[in-house]
Amino acid sequence: MPTKTKAPKIKPFHCPSCKKLVKATDEDFPFCSDRCRRIDLGKWAMGVYKISSPVLDPEVLETSVLEDVEGNRDR
């Protein structure tokens, strides 16, 4: 008795901007069009999207602490 192998299910993906169904083979994937890609880029540029993970780089933390201390001295 031959064993049937199941084809992997492809999960449908929706454009993050307009929620249209998008194929992984589309030119603008994961977006449905260049327009939606630019809308998303504009949201990043305006600060609508933010990366919420904490800064763990010691140099960046040290620099920001020094800037805070120096900023408080001027007051």
pLDDT digits 0-9 by tens, 4-49: 677 667 778 999 999 999 998 889 999 999 999 999 999 999 989 8
- Residues across the chain: 75
Residue ranges of alpha helices (H) inside the chain are 34-46, 58-73
pLDDT tens digits, one per residue of 64-75: 666 665 665 554
Residue 71 corresponds to which tokens in the numbers above?
A: 């900023």
> What does the pLDDT read at residue 14?
94
> What does the pLDDT read at residue 68?
60
Residue ranges of alpha helices (H) inside 23-57 are 34-46
Tell whether pTM > 0.75: no
Phi (first) and psi of residue 17, to 5 degrees = -90, -50
Among 47, 52, 53, 33, CA closest to 16: 33
Residue 21 corresponds to which tokens in the numbers above?
A: 């169904």
